[in-house]
């Protein structure tokens, strides 16, 4: 089912919509579509105040507008408040919405309202590997990337470039399924000389990241690597692992998620599916020429993120959509 949902989304991505209406709907946290459709769709978030969540919000609106039978779009954010997240979910149920899309920032704590929606006949789908217990029973389904593969990809790069020493994990909200997914698979795949000395939550909030990283560096000044699935923290784009580091060797290697999530992203092949080892060199960091600069995975990093540090030192190749291919020069 998750595969079919993803294919439906891709299939509708080329359909034209009223972009002015989409923007108004995004700014106003919902709208009437003007089609007279009978369906009401709801995007209920525990947290929506970062770049990725705002993009996801617009993606939800754009797809909803491709359906003439959707007459109303609802959006809510609980602004990181777990109690408010439950309240918002129950409000959507009481309004009799026809479906709910969400990310379970607070993990299984959201199960009671998932069950209430399911009992009311309202399908609930989570995205970005928003896995909580009992998909297919307590809620419809979960859609998302292979987070375990992401964690193993992180480990391959750490093993090759860090080799030994202290590293740290950063994640979103405590206990959220996306962060746990890759962290639980990276850690056992690291070689025995690499030690994860800190695992800290950032709530995917750019205002928290510098504080969190500074706290880790105060305790462990020789951090050689950082793993984090969210690289769009604009306030840290000048080098979160640099500006707070008390000494150059504490700067380390920074990996941020999405360019490692799909092995076909950078070279157009699926090595594991074709019986080859998935080579780390397809996603390794480029060495930064300037002394004292952190090493970063630069390919695929969006503008305005940690990747700006790498881009400033050496121009990155053009980004490629997940599963896409680079245009190779003709010989």
Q: What is the number of alpha carbons within 13 Å of residue 120 lying toward its C-beta?
A: 21
Instruction: Express as a percent the part of the chain with pLDDT over 70.
Output: 69
pTM above 0.85, yes or no: no
- More reliable by pLDDT, 129 or 107: 107
CA dihedral 91, 96, 101, 103 (to 10 degrees): 20
Are the CB atoms for 158 and 227 separated by under 8 Å? yes
**pLDDT tens figures, 37-47:** 999 999 999 99
CA dihedral of residues 212, 213, 215, 218 (deg, nearest 10):
180
Nearest to 237 by CA among 161, 312, 144: 312
Residue 106: is its pLDDT beyond 60? yes
Structure letter (DSSP) for residue 149: H
Residue with tokens 């929506």: 48
Residue 109 has pLDDT above 90, yes or no: yes
The answer to whether residues 214 and 239 touch, using CB atoms and an 8 Å cutoff, is no
pLDDT at residue number 252: 55
Cβ atoms 194, 167 nearer than 8 A = yes
Task: Look at residues 203, 257, 196 and name the one whose alpha carbon lies nearest to residue 223.
Answer: 196
Q: How far apart are CA 310 and CA 201, in angstroms?
A: 24
pLDDT on residue 4? 81
| pLDDT value of position 210 | 86
- Alpha helix ranges (H) inside the chain: 2-12, 19-27, 51-64, 82-94, 111-119, 147-161, 177-189, 206-219, 240-243, 307-313
Give SS3 for 293: coil
How many other CB atoms sit within 10 Å of the CB of residue 128? 21
User: How many whole angstroms separate alpha carbon 189 and alpha carbon 114?
Assistant: 34
Lowest-confidence region among 120-124, 144-148, 163-167, 283-287: 283-287
pLDDT in tens, 148-204: 998 999 999 999 999 999 999 999 999 898 899 899 999 999 999 999 999 999 998
| Domains of the chain, first to last | 2-142 (3.40.50.2300), 147-313 (3.40.50.2300)
Give the pairing of strands 70-77 and 39-45: parallel
* pLDDT at 14 (0 to 100): 86
Contact 176, 106 (CB under 8 A): yes
């Amino acid at each position: 089912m998750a595969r079919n949902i993803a294919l439906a989304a891709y299939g509708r991505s080329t359909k034209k919509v009223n972009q002015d209406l989409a923007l108004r709907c995004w700014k106003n946290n919902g709208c009437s579509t003007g089609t007279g459709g009978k369906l009401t769709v709801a995007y209920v978030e525990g947290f929506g105040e970062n770049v990725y969540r705002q993009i996801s919000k617009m993606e939800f609106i754009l797809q909803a507008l491709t359906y003439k039978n959707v007459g109303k779009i609802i959006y809510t954010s609980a602004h990181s408040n777990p109690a408010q997240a439950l309240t918002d979910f129950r409000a959507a149920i009481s309004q009799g919405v026809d479906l709910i899309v969400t990310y379970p920032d607070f993990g299984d704590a959201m199960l009671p309202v998932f069950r209430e929606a399911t009992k009311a006949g309202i399908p609930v789908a989570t995205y970005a590997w928003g896995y909580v217990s009992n998909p297919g029973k307590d809620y419809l389904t979960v859609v998302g990337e292979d987070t375990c593969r992401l964690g193993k990809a992180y480990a391959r790069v750490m093993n090759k470039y860090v080799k030994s020493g202290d590293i740290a994990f950063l994640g979103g909200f405590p206990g959220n399924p996306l962060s746990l997914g890759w962290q639980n698979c990276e850690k056992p795949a690291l070689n025995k000389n690499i030690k994860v000395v800190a695992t800290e939550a950032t709530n995917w909030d750019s205002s928290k990241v510098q504080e969190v990283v500074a706290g880790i560096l105060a305790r462990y000044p020789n951090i050689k690597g950082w793993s984090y699935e969210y690289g769009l923290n604009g306030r840290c784009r000048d080098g979160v692992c640099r500006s707070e580091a008390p000494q150059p060797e504490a700067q380390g290697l920074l990996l941020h998620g999405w360019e490692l999530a799909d092995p076909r992203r950078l070279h157009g092949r699926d090595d594991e599916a074709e019986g080859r080892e998935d080579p780390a060199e397809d996603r390794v960091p480029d060495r930064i020429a300037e002394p004292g600069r952190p090493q970063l995975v630069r390919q695929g990093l969006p503008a305005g993120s940690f990747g700006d540090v790498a881009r400033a030192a050496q121009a990155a190749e053009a980004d490629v959509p997940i599963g896409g291919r680079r245009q190779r020069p003709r010989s």
